[in-house]
């Protein structure tokens, strides 16, 4: 039985230090939800509050409509996957997976059946009788996952489960996790600091910083319409450039970058059509720059080029001295030599415009 999870004005304090000030969030039933943020942002703290390992100093944590604040971890019916797997080293694979079932007084036959089933699902049934020390990292990961979901938990919690694996395995495992979660349909809360991993597995992502949620949205939302500059720079790579927003013809907003480069911005919020010029910051992803053929755009000089197979990265120094990063498909162009003068145009439809503080996205359709 999956549940919806609600956080209402949740507060976490360690002594006098407030780590999470009044956080509210709703996670839907059956959703794969990811808490994403740099280390120390409070994502693990939040997860451990759901698990019951961290106390809650204010507000309510609810599973469906039941307040869970003081329910001990063992009674929450959660399945948890730990960063270091926390496999019991003295029990074999089957015994590890059966541990939670034994605590639930499930009959021997039932235990065997369910353990067999779940080992089949995570594809490690052949290692059933192995001891953990004879398993690879990825296999241990699967045991941890099987152990967490075999008890039919209401919520599956995962704390950076892939951070101890090497790069290739990480990609394989995240696909496996996503597939298994879809099969069993458990509400899942997933913690990671890896934005690519978050985008690969999640239905929705909450980006956190200093205990505060910066944005909640689908992977596409947080990448294409980041709510503020922090999200824009944390998710993917981006170039932040100073610009001015001016009133153009027919009350349309025009973005001016440097002295001569301007283009219309039709997709801004209605209230931001300015009479006088205002300072703004724009976030341009490396792939949103194109080398201009018609001479219109920002002029600069190539200072570095890196060929990476599929893509080529260019670093261009603009006239004001700022360096920006550009990604081009290697196939469509030859490598641009260092020192060459280039003109960069921006794909105006995708660029994000922020107020001068970087706190607010001025594009239409970029809300929390």
For residues 98 to 127, the per-residue mask of contacts with another protein, x marking binding by CB under 8 A and - elsewhere, is -xx--xx-----------------------
- Among residues 100, 98, 120, 118, the alpha carbon closest in space to that of 109 is found at 98
Compare residues 90 and 367 and give the one whose CB is closer to another protein.
Answer: 90
**Please, what is the minimum distance in Å from the beta carbon of residue 70 to another protein?**
9
Per rule CB under 8 A, is residue 254 in the interface with another protein? no
Per rule CB under 8 A, is residue 187 in the interface with another protein? no
Per rule CB under 8 A, is residue 193 in the interface with another protein? no
**Please, what is the minimum distance in Å from the beta carbon of residue 44 to another protein?**
6
Quick check: 179 and 146 in contact, CB under 8 A? no
**Please, what is the minimum distance in Å from the beta carbon of residue 74 to another protein?**
5
Per rule CB under 8 A, is residue 263 in the interface with another protein? no
User: How far is Cα 184 from Cα 367, in angstroms, rounded to an integer?
Assistant: 32
User: How far is Cα 222 from Cα 241, in angstroms, rounded to an integer?
Assistant: 19
User: How far is Cα 262 from Cα 61, in angstroms, rounded to an integer?
Assistant: 49
Compare residues 36 and 346 and give the one whose CB is closer to another protein.
Answer: 36
Residue numbers 62-91 binding another protein by CB under 8 A: 72-80, 82-84, 86, 88-90
User: How far is Cα 245 from Cα 273, in angstroms, rounded to an integer?
Assistant: 8
Region near another protein per CB under 8 A, out of 95-103, 218-226, 278-286, 319-327: 95-103
**Please, what is the minimum distance in Å from the beta carbon of residue 125 to another protein?**
20
Length of the chain: 368
User: How far is Cα 104 from Cα 112, in angstroms, rounded to an integer?
Assistant: 14
Residue numbers 14-53 binding another protein by CB under 8 A: 14, 44-45, 48, 51-53
Please give the angle made by the CA atoms of 89, 93 and 98, to the nearest 5 degrees.
Answer: 100
Please give the angle made by the CA atoms of 241, 194 and 28, to the nearest 5 degrees.
Answer: 100
User: How far is Cα 346 from Cα 181, in angstroms, rounded to an integer?
Assistant: 39
Query: Where along the sequence are the contacts to another protein (CB under 8 A)?
Result: 14, 44-45, 48, 51-55, 72-80, 82-84, 86, 88-90, 99-100, 103-104, 147, 151
């Amino acid at each position: 039985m999956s549940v919806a999870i609600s956080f209402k004005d949740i507060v976490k304090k360690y002594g006098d230090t407030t780590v999470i000030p009044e956080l509210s969030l709703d996670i839907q039933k059956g959703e794969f939800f990811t808490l994403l943020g740099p280390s120390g942002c409070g994502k693990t703290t939040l997860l451990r509050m759901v698990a019951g390992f961290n106390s809650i100093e204010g507000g309510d944590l609810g599973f469906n409509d039941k307040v869970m604040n003081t329910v001990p971890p063992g009674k929450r019916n959660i399945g948890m996957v730990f960063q270091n797997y926390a496999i019991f080293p003295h029990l074999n694979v089957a015994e590890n997976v059966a541990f939670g079932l034994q605590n639930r007084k499930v009959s021997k036959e039932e235990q065997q059946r369910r353990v067999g089933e779940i080992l089949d699902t995570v594809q490690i049934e052949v290692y059933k009788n192995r001891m953990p020390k004879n398993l690879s990292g990825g296999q241990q990961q699967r045991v941890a996952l099987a152990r967490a979901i075999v008890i039919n938990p209401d919520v599956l919690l995962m704390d950076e489960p892939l951070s101890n694996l090497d790069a290739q395995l990480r990609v394989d495992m995240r696909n496996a996790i996503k597939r298994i979660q879809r099969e069993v349909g458990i509400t899942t809360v997933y913690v990671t600091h890896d934005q690519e991993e978050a985008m690969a597995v999640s239905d929705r992502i909450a980006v956190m910083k200093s205990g505060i949620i910066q944005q909640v949205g689908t992977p596409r939302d947080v990448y294409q319409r980041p709510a503020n500059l922090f999200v824009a720079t944390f998710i993917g790579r981006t170039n932040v450039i100073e610009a001015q927003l001016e009133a153009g013809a027919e009350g349309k907003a025009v973005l001016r970058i440097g002295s001569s480069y301007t283009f219309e911005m039709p997709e801004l919020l209605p209230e931001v059509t300015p009479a006088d010029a205002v300072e703004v910051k724009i976030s341009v992803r490396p792939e949103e720059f194109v080398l201009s053929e018609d001479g219109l755009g920002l002029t600069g000089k190539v200072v570095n080029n890196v060929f990476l197979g599929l893509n080529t990265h260019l670093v261009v120094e603009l006239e004001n001295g700022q360096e920006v990063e550009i990604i081009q498909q290697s196939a469509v162009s030859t490598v641009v030599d260092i020192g060459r003068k280039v003109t960069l145009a921006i794909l105006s439809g995708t660029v994000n415009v922020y107020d001068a503080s970087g706190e607010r996205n001025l594009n239409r359709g970029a809300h929390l």
